[in-house]
Amino acid sequence: MMIIGATIVKYAKLLPAKMEHGAFHMYKFVSTSLTWPLMVGLGMLYVPLNDVVNIISPGYVLVCASVVLAMVGSGYFVARWMNMYPVESAIVTGCHSGLGGTGDVAILSASNRMGMMPFAQISTRLGGAATVIAAALLMKMFS
């Protein structure tokens, strides 16, 4: 709801330009100064490392790698049809395979594209919601 509300406020130009400018500078400060501590802290807090070690197998790594490559590849090739930059589209699409916001930070900072964070956040949230809805509908159809 927050993303939809922010989109409406931005599109309708309800926020004064001075506040929008201030919000942009606050975002730049947080994204440049707090990215790595946030990424490491939240990643270590939310990832149960004992469980990760217990489930890692060659098959698991192969499935994860194929899913990520399929997502990034589809983002890359679909971008050409949508008049978008293929590399940036592939990176944002790859954010679906991360751990939500923490994964977005890791992927975008590794690719030196932190300026794409708003797009990654929207695609992660909307893509995640669409995936859950589609999975629920498919489960209902096939059960």
pLDDT of 6-15, one tens digit each?
A: 878 888 989 8
Shared domain check, 89 and 55: yes
Shared domain check, 137 and 85: yes
Shared domain check, 53 and 21: no
Q: Is 40 within a domain?
A: no
Q: Is 38 within a domain?
A: no
Mean pLDDT across the chain, nearest whole number?
84
Q: Is 111 within a domain?
A: yes
Q: What are 13-66's pLDDT values in tens digits? A: 898 999 989 988 888 888 777 777 777 776 677 777 777 788 888 998 999 899
What pLDDT shows up at residue 139? Answer: 92
Which pTM value belongs to this model?
0.61
**Pairwise CA distance, residues 94 & 71, whole Å:** 6
Shared domain check, 116 and 67: yes
Q: Is 43 within a domain?
A: no
Q: How many domains does the chain have?
A: 2
Residue 117 sits at the vertex; the CA angle it makes with 136 and 2, to the nearest 5 degrees, is: 55
Residue 32 or residue 104, greater confidence = 104
In the structure encoding, which two tokens stand for residue 98, read together?
A: 């991360």
Q: Is 42 within a domain?
A: no
Shared domain check, 135 and 108: yes
Shared domain check, 134 and 73: yes
Residue 112 sits at the vertex; the CA angle it makes with 109 and 117, to the nearest 5 degrees, is: 60
> In what helix (H) or strand (E) does residue 40 lie, and over which residues does it extend?
helix 35-46
* Radius of gyration, CA atoms only, the chain: 18
Domain housing 6? 1-33
What pLDDT shows up at residue 62? Answer: 94
